[in-house]
Amino acid sequence: MKHGILVAWRKHYCILTLWLGVLIATAASPVNAASDDPDTGSAPTLLVMGDSLSAAYNIEREAGWVALLEARLPDDATVVNASISGETTSGGAQRIDDLLRQHAPDIVLLELGGNDGLRGLPPQQMQRNLASMIEASQAADAEVLLLGIDIPPNYGEAYREAFTNVYHALADEYDVALVPFLLEGVATEDNLMQDDGIHPTAEAQPIILDTVWEALYDTLLPN
């Protein structure tokens, strides 16, 4: 009888000891990594919606300005490059809702419109598409950086002016940060442009990054 009681007591003692160990371990461990580090969760997620200028066309992807941007940001920042060569504002407007839901970005960089201009599409259509992307981004609590582009002079001064004015009008209407010309200091330098005269070389990418960085750091990134 005493032996049975002793065995039972030992069994309950072992179970009690096990439960105490679990409780102590639970109390000593954070529920998740964020609770142990007050800065966790503050690092931004950036979504880049662009065309071939942001998709590292005809150069190594690691050499593109978006990859260079990711390397310059803190290690815990996230950069999602959703750029597609040949993309128009219409295509971007169709894709952005899914991307916003999937990645929940803090900052959206919109670099679209160049292919609209090269195809001679109406600037009003481009403006509507970009406006819808800005509105969707702001509705998702994301800040927006609009990256403007220019088109060659042979498209005519009137069309070219209407095209570039779209970016300024949107920046004013929606109070978003603007880089007026993404290829500033690059487009007019033959040695920084590929043979097609449209796409920048790998050597031009750090210059493009500096142009983007100035607007991004001064207006959107936490200091």
Residues annotated as catalytic are 52, 196, 199
106, 143 contact by CB (below 8 A): yes
Give the closest residue to 49 by CA, choosing from 162, 156, 129: 129
Report the b/e string of 175-198 with b at 16+ CB within 10 A: ebbbbbbbbeebbeeeebbeeeeb
Q: How far apart are CA 52 and CA 66, in angstroms?
A: 11
Report the b/e string of 75-114 with b at 16+ CB within 10 A: eebebbbbbbeebbbbbbbeebeebbeebebbbbbbbbbb
Give the closest residue to 79 by CA, choosing from 57, 52, 109, 53: 109
165, 151 contact by CB (below 8 A): no
Strand partners, 45: 78
**Dihedral, CA of residue 165, residue 70, residue 78 and residue 35, to nearest 10:** -130
